Amino acid sequence: MSKASHTECTSEMLPVRDALDIISGKWKLLILISISSGNSRFREIERSIPKITSKVLAKELKDLEENELIERTVYDDIPVVIKYTITPYAKTLQPVIQALSDWGKNHRKKILGR
Amino acid sequence: MSKASHTECTSEMLPVRDALDIISGKWKLLILISISSGNSRFREIERSIPKITSKVLAKELKDLEENELIERTVYDDIPVVIKYTITPYAKTLQPVIQALSDWGKNHRKKILGR
């Protein structure tokens, strides 16, 4: 490969950095997978993700809502019911999740095959 | 979507979690892009990635080497020259980088279009 100038390099990095700014970290994609799979209540989502804490989940849900990847709906019931659903925009992340999933499966095979 | 049991949910999450364990964080993919673009020396890589610190870069390069995504070669020169190259295995991450890049471009359009 020929050596890129810094400008070229940064322009290639920029969209990846933009994406990582929104979804990086250990939890956000797992939360989106959990909600996509039908978990909509806080405790359901929490139970479906091994080792996540309530505090972290609350923070991540807030971030995801701010970035319009999930919607938080309050149902005026007694007691009040809060449900999380993924937005149509979150579905545009499917190719990213699929690529990571494919790579993760392959990586596990590689590690186990040693 | 029908509600998945926790077992189903975790099996869908597992490969994504495996992948995120290796490449999550802000820097690893940017470092791989930088090295792929032709930067091979520590200072070159450092200069090509805005805001990364030497300490963080050193740690991330070590992790990437341990996971066989980059190779560190010491050339017995005076002074000693150390070069980093990406491994064939790192090239299997290309679909992940491409999916993130596509999503990042789309996200930037969405944000700017508001």
The DSSP line for A75-86 is: E--SS-EEEEEE
Local structure of B73: helix, strand or coil: strand
Average pLDDT along chain A: 90
- pLDDT reading at A5 higher than 80: no
- The 10s digit of each residue's pLDDT in B50-92 is 999 999 999 999 999 999 999 999 999 889 999 999 999 999 9
- The 10s digit of each residue's pLDDT in B22-55 is 988 889 999 999 999 999 999 999 999 999 999 9
**Which of A112 and B31 is assigned the larger pLDDT?**
B31
Question: Which chain B residues have a beta carbon less than 8 Å from that of A17?
Answer: 26, 30, 104
Interface test with B, best of A1, A14, A18 (most B CBs within 10 A): A18
- The CA–CA distances, whole Å, from B37 to A1, A15, A47, B59 equal 7, 15, 42, 20
By the 10 Å C-beta count (0-12 exposed, 13-18 middle, 19+ buried), A23 is classed as: buried
In sequence order, what are the residues at sequence separation of 6 or more whose Cβ sits closer than 8 angstroms to the Cβ of residue B7?
none
**Looking at chain B, which residue has its C-alpha nearest residue A102?**
B15
Of residues B16, B102, B108, nearest to A100 (C-beta):
B16
- CB-CB contact of B65 with B71 (8 Å): yes
**Residue-range domains of chain A with CATH:** 26-112 (1.10.10.10)
Contact B49 A97 (CB under 8 A): no
Which contiguous run of DSSP H or E holds residue B72? strand B70-75
Q: Cα separation of B97 and B89, whole Å?
A: 14
- CB-CB contact of B12 with A49 (8 Å): no
- pLDDT reading at A11 higher than 90: no
Contact A10 B48 (CB under 8 A): yes
**ipTM value:** 0.87
Q: How many CB pairs under 8 A join A and B?
A: 156
In sequence order, what are the residues at sequence separation of 6 or more whose Cβ sits closer than 8 angstroms to the Cβ of residue B17?
A26, A30, A104
- The 10s digit of each residue's pLDDT in A14-49 is 999 999 989 888 899 999 999 999 999 999 999 999
